[in-house]
Amino acid sequence: MTLYEFLISPFSDFAFMRRALAACIALSAGCAPIGVLLIMRRMSLMGDALSHAVLPGAAVGFIFGGFALPWLAGGGIAAGLLVALLAGLASRFTDLSEDANFAGFYLVALALGVLLVSQWGNSVDLIHLLFGSVLAVDDLSMLMVSGIASLTLLWLAFNYRGLVLECADPFYLQSCGKRGSRYHLGFVALTVLNLVAGFQAMGTLMAVGLMMLPAATSRLWAGTLPGMILAAWGCGLLSALSGLMLSYHLGLPSGPAIVLFAGLCYLLSLLFAPHGWHGRWRARRHRKN
Amino acid sequence: MQRDYDEQNRKAKHHFRTRPIGVFRMIQLSNLTVCYQQRPAIHHISGRFERGSHTAIVGPNGAGKSTLLKAIAGLLPATGKIVANEAIGYLPQLAEIDRHFPLTVAELALSGHWLRAGNAGQLDATASARALAALERMGLADFAARSVATLSGGQMQRVRFARLIVQDTPIMLLDEPFNSVDSRTAGILIEVLAEWHAAGKTLVTVVHDLGVARAHFPQALLLAREVVAWGPSDEALQADNLERAQKLIEHWHNEAEWCAVP
């Protein structure tokens, strides 16, 4: 097998591979910065909670419309936003903290979703909802993924400073008379949107992988926020490309292949990146001043 | 230059409860109460900080000094009314900044322009020069490129004070600025406060040291969950007032009666 056959021909020969690659590139363009900000806000596990929260909405959409994207995506977005909103409200008006409320609501949502699918669908449908199929991405979902990625990047560009302040020093932002909730709510809504974007291609469970693994990897390579976002993009793109290739040549399911490759990047970075174990070991020397 | 900044501060979107309340008043408090779990941290506080006043807030531990500042800064839900005439700058007691966040010292100082620049406003050379000058004043010029994660608690406090200098708001609320800084820095802080006072800013500072309060602050507010005394500092901080404040704070009934006014 020549290098050309290995690297290029899967994409040049098959339209579905090109589509899958384009979808993954768009997906990681939006997901990577969201993941980085989730990590910086110490909300790494919230992506997970939200991705599970999306399930009952998608299930209801599925019951009404089958595997039609508008139904699945609409239901997913509605359910994700509802859980985020309820958890936010509950933490504001009770003594329970936000992460505990998220845990509570997402578990309820997940159980509800599994119940709905098992009652009105079958296990094949459930598998499809949970793991998606990146090789069956149609025009409509391409449009949705790229639309959500564009919206994410535009919103981040217009709210970057406020978002950083709200995250690093929320009391300062508040003492300037600006409520931080605008940034928080906008950010949570974007997180839900990006998870739903990943949903058709990667499934509800795998979508978080392309969000959090490149982000976690990027923290090990870069020391600034822009650097982290760039590194996360790089890692996301590399994982998408390599994962798709692995899945093509070895006949593996594409979603897990992509996430596993991102996971490999993460594990190697833990060992060898500048902020990883090896970097620490090298940095034991120190300057005189 | 100073006038330009005042003008920009005024044009910037103000504190959400800001409205004009006359020329001489700067902050007006009416029946202000803040409770934690039905226990008052401060209650029924009425009074005003005049334009250009320089007030020390003094009181025993648990008197509600920080709570009062936080309420004025809009960080706590409170009953009663607070009206501030102009934009507020606030220096919290502890560095509540997330140290794990990858920010440099210079970036943190630059964030003092937030009220004027917002998300889209340009941060030009003048803005950066101002931030650097403030850092230099606090003896942190060489630290500009360092990450905030590498600073000590006192250095962090100095960066925050530098940011307050950059903010340059007409009202300044400072919560124990002299704590956790070395004596040289404390001297610089007192200098800066005196300059601000001369420039006509309204200053409210929580102070623990009675000597400092008497020597450097013309007005004092003696607090013990309620106002014990409020006026010229040597009068407000007389021994009988201080003793009364101490007694009020030490007195605590588990089954105290409910306050008649909510």
A177–B117 CB contact, under 8 Å: no
Angle between helix B153-167 and B125-137 (nearest 10): 140
Answer whether residue B240 is part of any domain: yes
pLDDT at B186 over 70: yes
Residues of chain A with Cβ-Cβ distance to B90 below 8 Å are 171-172, 175
pLDDT band for position B138 (cuts 50, 70, 90) = very high
Q: How far apart are CA A211 and CA A219, in angstroms?
A: 13
Average pLDDT in chain B: 85
Q: Which A residues, 70 through 89, put their C-beta within 8 Å of a C-beta on chain B? A: none
pLDDT band for position B83 (cuts 50, 70, 90) = confident
Who has greater pLDDT, A201 or A183? A183
Report pLDDT for B15: 39
Q: Does B149 touch chain A (CB under 8 A)?
A: no
Q: Does A225 touch chain B (CB under 8 A)?
A: yes
B119–A158 CB contact, under 8 Å: yes
Q: Does B13 touch chain A (CB under 8 A)?
A: yes
Residues of chain B with Cβ-Cβ distance to A162 below 8 Å are 114, 118-119
- Kindly list the distances between the CA atom of residue A36 and the CA atoms of A30, B148, B256, in Å, as whole numbers in the listed order: 11, 19, 50
pLDDT at A208 over 60: yes
Given a contact cutoff of 8 angstroms between Cβ atoms, the answer to whether B152 and B132 are in contact is no
Q: Say which residues have a Cβ less than 8 Å from residue A2's Cβ, sequence separation at least 6.
A: none
Q: Which of B94-98, B102-106, B126-130, B138-142 has the lowest mean pLDDT?
A: B94-98
A172–B74 CB contact, under 8 Å: no
Residues of chain B with Cβ-Cβ distance to A176 below 8 Å are 15, 87, 114-115
Q: Does A40 touch chain B (CB under 8 A)?
A: yes
- The CATH code for residues A3-275 is 1.10.3470.10
Answer whether residue B21 is part of any domain: yes
Secondary structure (3-state) at A43: coil
Q: Does A286 touch chain B (CB under 8 A)?
A: no
pLDDT band for position B20 (cuts 50, 70, 90) = low
Answer whether residue B73 is part of any domain: yes
User: In a mutagenesis test of the B interface, which of A41, A163, A166, A176 is the best target, namely the one with the most B β-carbons within 10 Å?
Assistant: A176
pTM over 0.90? The answer is no
Q: Which of A45-54, A63-72, A254-263 has the lowest mean pLDDT?
A: A63-72
pLDDT band for position B2 (cuts 50, 70, 90) = very low
Q: Does A160 touch chain B (CB under 8 A)?
A: yes
Give the total number of structural domains in chain B.
1
pLDDT at B240 over 50: yes
Structural domain boundaries in chain A = 3-275
A175–B90 CB contact, under 8 Å: yes
B111–A179 CB contact, under 8 Å: no
Give the β-pairing of B54-58 and B219-224: parallel
Q: How far apart are the first and last CA of chain A?
A: 56
Which is nearest to A108 in space by CA: A82, A134, A128? A82
Q: Does A251 touch chain B (CB under 8 A)?
A: no
pLDDT band for position A147 (cuts 50, 70, 90) = very high
Average pLDDT in chain A: 87
Q: Does A238 touch chain B (CB under 8 A)?
A: no
pLDDT at A213 over 90: yes
B16–A176 CB contact, under 8 Å: no
Looking up residue B209, the CATH number of its domain turns out to be 3.40.50.300
Q: Which domain holds residue B71?
A: 15-87+170-185+199-262
Report pLDDT for B221: 94
Q: Does B102 touch chain A (CB under 8 A)?
A: yes
How many angstroms from the chain centroid is the CA of residue A83?
Answer: 17
Give the β-pairing of B25-36 and B79-84: antiparallel
A158–B120 CB contact, under 8 Å: yes
Give me the amino acid identity at B141.
A
Q: Does B75 touch chain A (CB under 8 A)?
A: yes
Which is nearest to A105 in space by CA: A73, A72, A74, A82? A82
Q: How far is A271 from chain B (nearest CA, A)?
A: 20
Opening angle at CA A49, ends A45 and A54, nearest 5: 145
Q: Does B5 touch chain A (CB under 8 A)?
A: no
The first and second tokens of residue B171, run together, are 């009202």
- Interface A-B: count of C-beta contacts within 8 A: 74
pLDDT band for position B133 (cuts 50, 70, 90) = very high
Report pLDDT for A191: 93
Query: A155 to chain B: nearest residue by CA?
Result: B119
Q: Does A9 touch chain B (CB under 8 A)?
A: no
Given a contact cutoff of 8 angstroms between Cβ atoms, the answer to whether B240 and B252 are in contact is no
